[in-house]
Amino acid sequence: MSSPMLGMQSKVERTATGSEMIKEASDNQLRYILKSISRNMSETMKEMLILSLIYADDETFDRVL
């Protein structure tokens, strides 16, 4: 037996407005994921910089650069 909501969903997906709504929802999810990754990478880079300033000497920096 088919659910009425499933029938409605497939009808919505076939309209331009329905497609736009699905695309917008997908874009929002992707945007959240990318912001989360960016935040985590930024925090990791800050920690790496702090550790390198604490433990690396000038000679090490010269070799890396």
pTM greater than 0.75: no
| Phi, psi (rounded to 5 degrees) for 14 | -85, -5
**Euclidean distance between CA atoms 1 and 56, whole angstroms:** 67
pLDDT for residue 62: 81
Nearest to 11 by CA among 24, 21, 47: 21
Give per-residue pLDDT as tens, 15-53.
Answer: 888 888 889 999 999 999 999 999 999 999 999 989 988
**Euclidean distance between CA atoms 19 and 33, whole angstroms:** 21
Residue range(s) defining the domain that contains residue 32: 4-64
Count: domains in the chain: 1
pLDDT for residue 53: 86
**Euclidean distance between CA atoms 49 and 51, whole angstroms:** 5
Give me 63's structure tokens. Answer: 């070799």
